[in-house]
Structure 1
Amino acid sequence: MTPPGAKPLRAVFLAHTAAPSGAELATLRLVSAMPAGRTAVVYTEDGPMLRRMAERGIETRVVRNDFDSRAMTIDKAGVGSLLRGGLGLLRLGWRLGATMRELGATVLVAGSSKAMLMGAVAARRAGIPLVWHVHDRISAEYFGQWLATAVRLLGWLAVDGYIANSRGTLASLYTWRRRALVAYPGVEYRSVSEEPESGRREQRPAAETVVVVVGRLAPWKGQDLFLRALADVRNLPREVFLVGGTFFDEQDYRRELEVRATALDLPVIFTGHVEDPEPYLHEADILVHCSVLPEPFGQVVVEGMRAGCAVIATRPGGPEEIVEPGVNGLLVDAGERARLTHALDTLIADQELRTKLAAAARVRARDFDVAESARQVTEFLTTVPGKRWRHG
């Protein structure tokens, strides 16, 4: 509810990339479910997400950067290039502030750490609150210790509130005296056929099982570990789909995976990037999520559960907040090859267990309906206060 005397909500989401990665797709689902006409999305580069947003009637703008933000990639940039990139983000933020005014923004929502830096300047120039929508764990595993600490501190100094995609992500931030909300990314339910008890064929017998792994082909996503674990199972599935493309100079990793799959004589099909992995999820009996680092949330786990897969996922991380082990899926410790093999053996061999877990998984997935996340986020953004130094 909008407080008395306040302007109606006009939330502008800021993204530093228009590539269709997890955070951008989560934003697409969220904004689509929020009240029509109360949102807009601003990108700092062209890309496929502009088309996807336009297809859903969502207002978008592009304010192009005048520097290569990829130079700030954490594992490649030195201190000097990080500082230069940071200055470039601040300059772009000043231009973005004018765009926020043009759009009539009442709150700016930054969808990444880079967007948060730009948004700090843009929100101050526009005189509106800044909320950081955090899709990644701000931790040493991803950023390194000193940079993780710096990003947490910068976030705390810059923002008026946080939206985190899981409790684990929220715990990786400094949130003292800042408003915070955990809003799961959510899945879209569009028809009666997606209700938990309908529209799904039976699980196949052991020799006919189909396994799917969905996610960007990147070392931290654990596809190499999965292939080595799969090679040790007692009975190979009939077919395995590795669904996902490569981004950010990771093509060599895909080639390594292809060589390994061939050398181990595994029934693996590499699909490359697909716009919508849902057909593969509906075709599969088992979904494997095998990240070797803590997953911020694990959107594909929910999507697999909604599709009626029996799910194996890794912990710690977001999947612990999704899966109840032995009830609606199985959890294994990240990086534990032998435990992953055991879980695969268990599910491949036991059609009845797969059927039970998959049925419970479809029910559990309803708890992550994006409509509920959108309601929570809308209420939060309507009431988040600005800093005292803002005027007008």
Structure 2
Amino acid sequence: MDNKKILFVSYTAVLGGGELCLIDFANAYRETSQVVLLTDGILKTRLEDLGVKVEVLQASRSLADVKLSSGLGSSLKSIGDLWRLGKQIANKSQAFDLIHANNQKGFVVAAIARLLGGAPVVWHLHDILTADIFSATNRRIAVTLANWFATRVIVNSQATADAFIAAGGNRRLLRTVYNGFDSEKFDQVDDNQATLREELGIPRDRPLVGMFSRLSYWKGQHILLEAASQLPDVHVLLVGDALFGEAEYREKLKNIAAQESLKGRVHWLGFRQDIPALMKACDAIAHCSTAPEPFGRVIVEAQLSKRPAIATIGGGTSEIITNGVTGLLIPPNDPQLLAAAMQQIFSDREATQKMVEAAYSQAKLKFSIPSVCAEFEMAIA
């Protein structure tokens, strides 16, 4: 990695996929760069543990109240805070080669900083800009600011790129850089996790399907539970919890799991750090998003864990899985097809093993941190 000086800016400090990606790049450039967070949270601790310099410029409540789905009125209420933060980032960026904005609110602040004489701006877009998640106002603001002020827009998949262009974004700004993964974290963990299964109270002789995601309707945990209810031997491991006001969905899932057809077969772990071991305790990993997924980190983690992945078609998943070769792809919102895919994996062990080996080889080659950092370096050059 060269000595390029980057001011990384992130509004969010929880650990979603975009923030995990930021950790990798900020760590790679930690000798010359700095991260500025606009909210405090666990991301700050994780970065500091790696030796990354971090500062928090606390955003106001008005900015926190602006959601991705908010309209113009809500967005205008936060303009004073955005301008204040933009001036601060513009001043800080004088000592850096570029500003790397890691999410939409962070990018709006970075664009204002650029307007006020700050360093060139790269927007790292981790989301598919669709009406399902983003209001028309927020899509228009983001794309217009990108076209005017961004030197580059880095996207995490071709699906994310296509949505940016469809929303009016300038194609010439785009560079695709996939997420990177440290395969050593997975290779160092024993493939046999029988002891861990015992600790979790899961019988060794029962198939276990894991799902690793925050509990959210669009992540589709309810689809997995409905599929498992049709397969009386299958246990389900849910790793993750509700964020962003989604506690109501968690209660819905608890009610589904309490039904007689699932009683005693759903295991709730909340957020955990030992993901490689937990994945290797599973017999398969499900990825059940009901809307297009920008990338799909969990799928690559499953591949590196040498566990078969079943994922819903849409977004970046088709760029990670070739159906029947490196995993199984099924349409979203279909518990019956998910149950059939699970049965296929458990019944045809030889074909499943071939998929697992092919997926592992692909993940090691295509999504390694060195190769992804090289792509990132070319994108910001």
If the length of structure 1 is used for normalisation, what is the TM-score? 0.87
CA distance in 1, matches of 2:35, 2:119: 16
| 1:138 partner letter | L
CA distance in 1, matches of 2:205, 2:187: 27
Question: Mean Cα displacement is larger for which, 170-179 or 366-375?
Answer: 170-179
Aligned residue number for residue 128 of structure 1: 119
Aligned residue number for residue 200 of structure 2: none
Aligned residue number for residue 243 of structure 1: 239
Structure 1 residues 131 and 284: CA distance shift in structure 2, 3 A: same
Cα distance per residue 1:282-339 (max 9 Å; x no partner): 1111000000000000001000110011110011111100011111100001122222
Deviation at 1:37, TM superposition (A): 1.3
Selected match of 1:140 from 107, 112, 131:
131
CA distance in 1, matches of 2:317, 2:143: 23
CA distance in 1, matches of 2:272, 2:359: 24
CA distance in 2, matches of 1:84, 1:202: 52
Aligned residue number for residue 77 of structure 2: 84
Structure 1 residues 86 and 232: CA distance shift in structure 2, 3 A: farther
Deviation at 1:125, TM superposition (A): 3.2
Secondary structure at the aligned position of 2:153 is classed as: strand
Aligned residue number for residue 252 of structure 1: 248
Q: Identity, % of aligned pairs?
A: 28
| 8 Å CA contact 2:157, 2:176 repeated in 1 | yes
Question: Mean Cα displacement is larger for which, 89-98 or 48-57?
Answer: 89-98
| 8 Å CA contact 1:30, 1:185 repeated in 2 | no
Alignment of 1:274-353 (within 5 A): 274-353=272-351
Deviation at 1:20, TM superposition (A): 1.5
Secondary structure at the aligned position of 2:329 is classed as: strand
Aligned residue number for residue 187 of structure 1: 181
CA distance in 1, matches of 2:158, 2:71: 31
CA distance in 2, matches of 1:177, 1:125: 25
Selected match of 1:17 from 12, 17, 32:
12
Deviation at 1:176, TM superposition (A): 2.6
| 1:370 partner letter | I
Secondary structure at the aligned position of 1:323 is classed as: coil
Deviation at 1:121, TM superposition (A): 1.6
Deviation at 1:186, TM superposition (A): 1.4
Aligned residue number for residue 49 of structure 1: 43
| 1:162 partner letter | V
Structure 1 residues 274 and 68: CA distance shift in structure 2, 3 A: farther
Structure 1 residues 36 and 111: CA distance shift in structure 2, 3 A: closer
| 8 Å CA contact 2:111, 2:145 repeated in 1 | no
| 8 Å CA contact 1:246, 1:273 repeated in 2 | no
Unaligned runs of 5+ in 2: 198-202
Selected match of 1:69 from 27, 52, 63:
63
Deviation at 1:253, TM superposition (A): 0.9
| 8 Å CA contact 1:206, 1:348 repeated in 2 | no
Deviation at 1:207, TM superposition (A): 5.0
| 8 Å CA contact 1:206, 1:350 repeated in 2 | no
Unaligned runs of 5+ in 1: 3-7, 384-392
CA distance in 1, matches of 2:16, 2:255: 26
| 8 Å CA contact 2:193, 2:281 repeated in 1 | no
CA distance in 1, matches of 2:136, 2:313: 21
| 8 Å CA contact 1:211, 1:287 repeated in 2 | yes
Aligned residue number for residue 151 of structure 1: 142
Deviation at 1:199, TM superposition (A): 5.0
| 8 Å CA contact 1:301, 1:311 repeated in 2 | yes
| 1:26 partner letter | C
Does residue 27 of the first structure (1) align with residue 27 of the second (2)? no
CA distance in 2, matches of 1:293, 1:155: 24
CA distance in 1, matches of 2:347, 2:79: 53
CA distance in 2, matches of 1:186, 1:360: 18
| 8 Å CA contact 1:212, 1:284 repeated in 2 | yes
If the length of structure 2 is used for normalisation, what is the TM-score? 0.89
CA distance in 1, matches of 2:68, 2:4: 35
CA distance in 1, matches of 2:65, 2:335: 34
Secondary structure at the aligned position of 2:191 is classed as: coil
Cα distance per residue 1:242-282 (max 9 Å; x no partner): 01011111111111101101114321101112234222111
Aligned residue number for residue 389 of structure 1: none
Selected match of 1:171 from 147, 162, 175:
162
| 8 Å CA contact 1:137, 1:296 repeated in 2 | yes
| 8 Å CA contact 1:43, 1:63 repeated in 2 | yes
